[in-house]
Amino acid sequence: MDSYNRPGFAIFFELINSAAVVGIAMLIFPILKQHNEAIALGYFGSRIIESALLIVSLLSPLVLITLSEEYITAGAAGDSYFQTVGNVAIKGHYMAFELAMLVLSLGSLIFCYLLYKSKLIPRFISVIGLIGYVALLASGCSAIFGYDIGMILYIPGALFEIIFPIWLIVKGFNSTAIDSGAVKN
């Protein structure tokens, strides 16, 4: 397989990720709704916006592929034009991605707050999520303002995104918390 097809695979996997982002929110919505419908809707809406921004960020690689083909066809003529458009496409990709991370962090903060408040999972896992998404919010804000902190602030959120699904697979949600949420409504 030649390297020309690699961007296609990356774009395909990012589209799968964008669908999964919404799918996760859809699956968890009925349980969250029992505890706080406004937060459940806010979380679901944030995941839809995040997915849309991730899809928008995919346009840049497609623009770059087309742009490189046009550059080869045009030769050296218009070199600065192609370079400018390429730079704008790259910056657009990073900006859309960082905006998606901001939306993810805000939506996930309210999600983790609801998990903490409802005791659907052990509170220490919810706290890891809260810390992780505050760190992601800080990372996203700093990146948008031009300060690249690096990926160090992704670590707490990554821990949550590993621990939380493992907990759900092994133990599931706290059934007494689910039942108490259903009784309230």
pTM of the predicted structure, to 2 decimals: 0.83
Instruction: Output the pLDDT for position 131.
Output: 96
In sign, the C-alpha dihedral spanning 17, 18, 21, 23 is negative
pLDDT in tens, 95-110: 899 899 999 999 999 9
Cβ atoms 163, 125 nearer than 8 A: yes
What distances in angstroms separate CA 112 from CA 42, 55, 128, 171, one per listed residue?
12, 25, 9, 18
d(CA 86, CA 146): 19
Low-confidence residues of the chain: pLDDT under 50: 1
Instruction: Output the pLDDT for position 182.
Output: 59
Instruction: Output the pLDDT for position 144.
Output: 86
Residue-range domain boundaries for the chain = 3-184
Return the DSSP state at 145.
T
